[in-house]
Structure 1
């Protein structure tokens, strides 16, 4: 009898821990038909993007710094293209394991997300642009309320131009990426400014020098660019 009670307690404990989950760093996708929700988590920062690359449609994006609280995520919203009044507020997301996936209680619905294959690359980080070459001269971009950040993790990327202090949003784009032998390649899956850019593949030179990412080549518009990105620490 005592043995049975111990086994029962152990089973209940295992079920408890299996039900609870934490959203670790990586890329997660929830898909309904051809519409996708992509969540990127890196360096204590989370971003969710709604898009349909097959129809070249960008839906919305929101995100910000996160804190893990057991089986919940506390997200301090820095941008929200659906409702800018949420910026500066904290939203709580319940997370739990569910049939080989992760169920996340979003503000508008419960959704099942599947963690994508881990693809570790040297550029995986939360970045912030800190320099740009103009007319053959490199200009520093000082830290300010307005910023452009870029999340790279597990073969996915997103850049976001925002000003949380003024609840400003100036554009975003992203998709899949690879980095090998100082060559950085992007395939655009969503772009808020121009849906016609979806499907483009862009190739850049990329190198790490003193922890900074030197990024050069041609933009999606065909303009020559040389940018310096520095690792960003989420608040």
Structure 2
């Protein structure tokens, strides 16, 4: 009985250690490459997204994302990352890659895989907004006839990941490996208004460096998002927290 109790305590401590370590990489990280490209990585809960883009000419380069977990193996710390979408090579979707990494204060270094390199943490303000530091999935949206249509859970996903001040949205299909688009940047909240400033976009370069304001209401687990898109179309969406 005593051995069983000790084993349970050991497993609990190991799990807690992994959870605490996973939380330590939560937030937003940046990597400026020698070719002038900027890469931005957001980690929250057990999901991450990254995007690479040119800030000068607003050129979008690539993006990827998926679930992750922190593992320990032979005294090494490993970031195990399962791809949900990958614009460089769609045949890699669904595959898991193990990245050996180290974390030294505000520097995250990965030795291999799609996230290889040195990432510097971006300092953010502490956000208490209910949609920040979390992952949200599109649950319903208004069609052209102004009727709300449910987006059923399945292989097609539109998800939005938030740190304290940064966000990224991506739409993709896990089964077919199709990728439909992404954009991201910074966000802020003023009273009932939610404001996005676009840093990169895979489809509409004209949106980059522009800000867009929406009505924002949190109703239980739902985040109701309404306003006008960059193309002038009406936007009315319901987002649900979680993957």
Check whether TM > 0.5: yes
1 CA distance for matches of 2:51 and 2:82?
Answer: 16
Q: State the secondary structure of the residue aligned to 2:88.
A: coil
Structure 1 106/224 Cα, relative in aligned 2: closer, same or farther at 3 Å? farther
Q: Deviations over 1:160-186 (max 9, x none)?
A: 010011101011111111123121111
Q: State the secondary structure of the residue aligned to 2:238.
A: strand
2 CA distance for matches of 1:49 and 1:69?
Answer: 24
The gaps in structure 2 that reach 5 residues or longer are 1-20
1 CA distance for matches of 2:25 and 2:116?
Answer: 18
Measured after TM superposition, the shift of residue 88 of structure 1 is 0.7
2 CA distance for matches of 1:123 and 1:38?
Answer: 20
Instruction: Give the corresponding residue for 2:226.
Output: 216
Q: TM-score, normalised by structure 1?
A: 0.84
Q: Compute the RMSD of aligned alpha carbons.
A: 1.8
* Mean Cα deviation higher: 26-35 or 220-229: 26-35
Equivalent positions of 1:14-163 (< 5 A) are 24-32=25-33, 34-70=36-72, 71-98=77-104, 100-107=106-113, 110-119=116-125, 120=127, 121-124=129-132, 125-134=134-143, 135-163=145-173
Measured after TM superposition, the shift of residue 100 of structure 1 is 4.9
Measured after TM superposition, the shift of residue 114 of structure 1 is 1.1
Q: Deviations over 1:15-36 (max 9, x none)?
A: xxxxxx7552110011136421
Measured after TM superposition, the shift of residue 109 of structure 1 is 7.2
Structure 1 108/211 Cα, relative in aligned 2: closer, same or farther at 3 Å? closer
Structure 1 141/101 Cα, relative in aligned 2: closer, same or farther at 3 Å? same
Instruction: Give the corresponding residue for 1:8.
Output: none
Measured after TM superposition, the shift of residue 98 of structure 1 is 4.9
Q: State the secondary structure of the residue aligned to 1:166.
A: coil
Is the 2:106–2:121 contact (alpha carbons within 8 Å) kept by the matching residues of 1? no
Q: State the secondary structure of the residue aligned to 2:206.
A: helix
Q: TM-score, normalised by structure 2?
A: 0.82
Instruction: Give the corresponding residue for 1:187.
Output: 197
Measured after TM superposition, the shift of residue 99 of structure 1 is 7.8
Equivalent positions of 1:190-209 (< 5 A) are 190-209=200-219
